[in-house]
Amino acid sequence: MTLPVEKENSRLMREMFRSIAPCYDFATRVFSYGMDRRWKKVGVAKASLPETAVVLDLAAGTGDLVRLSSTAFPALEL
């Protein structure tokens, strides 16, 4: 089985992500019919994080999940 060219060449992989990044959040919003906002709000609400929790969003995008978390749980270390 052959790997996609992007996986074989890290420079191509970075270029691919660089070209996708500016429109990724917009595409997610469009494809989910705006429901991604609600999913994030529900996810944060159901997380029931303790006051000492540490939140790390590795694929932060626009950072809206982190903003929602910090609003819902002001004492969190982000």
> Mean of the pLDDT values across residues 49-65?
77
How far is 44 from 69, CA to CA, in rounded Å? 6
* 63 DSSP 8-state letter: S
pTM above 0.75, yes or no: no
CA angle 41, 52, 70 (to 5 degrees): 35
pLDDT digits (tens, 9 = 90+) for 5-16: 767 778 888 888
> Mean of the pLDDT values across residues 31-56?
86
pLDDT above 70 as % of the chain? 94
